[in-house]
Amino acid sequence: MKLDRNKTIHYDSGPDMTPLVDVVMVLLIFLMMVGKFGGADRYLASNLPITSAGVSNTQVDPNLIPKDPVTISVSPLPPSGFRAFVGRTSASNDEQLTAQLKTLLAGLKAAGRKPEDIQVFIKPAKQLRYDNVVTVYTATLQAGFTKIGFQAAE
């Protein structure tokens, strides 16, 4: 006896997945258009021109801790400015800060310190805008300091 049930075509193979795939694709396209690729935020931008000097070949001892680092404390100045404190002096724009840092660097050179041994730490406040941090960083570079680091706000 032969069964004809096996030769019939069965069309109920499960739920229709087409609407689900459509919704997932729409969500994926939406997230790709709205999302932000954060590759450029990892580097600190500077307004200085690019030079062809490159990296030096001198070897630096990684365990060397420089003597008396210079600390620049930066706080916000409403509405969108900043105030930078270097020792007992303060500056509220990049020209003043660059001039004060050049004077400081000249004094440290006169005291016998080598410019490559001077470490500068920028210590921004928590509420400080990112473009103000870049302005302070650029002013420090323009003053002639080469070793610049950052400290976390307290």
Name residues whose C-beta falls within 8 Å of residue 46's C-beta, 6 or more positions apart in sequence: 134, 137, 138, 141
> How many other CB atoms are there within 10 angstroms of residue 10's CB atom?
7
Q: How confident is the model at residue 117 (pLDDT cuts 50, 70, 90)?
A: confident
Q: Which fold has domain 70-150?
A: Nucleotidyltransferase; domain 5 (3.30.420)
Closest of 32, 12, 122 to residue 73, by C-alpha: 122
Mean pLDDT of 82-111: 89
18: phi > 0 → left, psi -120 to 50 → alpha, else beta; which? alpha
Give, for 34, the enclosing helix (H) or strand (E).
helix 18-34
Summarised one tens digit per residue, pLDDT across range 37-92 is 665 555 566 666 666 655 555 555 555 555 678 899 999 988 888 999 998 888 98
For the whole model, what pTM was predicted? Answer: 0.58
Q: How confident is the model at residue 94 (pLDDT cuts 50, 70, 90)?
A: confident
> What are the angstrom distances between the C-alpha of 47 and each of 34, 40, 142, 148?
29, 15, 10, 15
Say yes or no to pLDDT of 147 above 60. yes
- pLDDT score of 30: 92
Q: How confident is the model at residue 102 (pLDDT cuts 50, 70, 90)?
A: very high
